[in-house]
Amino acid sequence: MDNEYGDRVAAGFAAGDEDCVALVSRRWRPLVHALARRSPGARPATSGRPRT
């Protein structure tokens, strides 16, 4: 990504532009997910079902 394009995407993301939010999400989701899993206090992944 060149700087001008990156700046436009960042500005669109900050403004809530749906296309920019989707682009940023696709690009950075794996990194954010990996970092969140390694953060202190992170809980192990669950099956998505509430505990009974």
Looking up tokens 């992170």 gives: 42
| Residues 9, 23 contacting (CB under 8 angstroms) | yes
* pTM summary value: 0.60
pLDDT at position 37 is 87
CA 2 to chain centre: 20
d(CA 47, CA 42): 15
Please write the tens of the pLDDT for every residue from 2-50.
789 999 999 999 999 999 999 999 999 999 999 888 888 766 666 566 6
What would the two tokens of residue 18 be?
């749906």
pLDDT at position 41 is 77
pLDDT at position 45 is 64
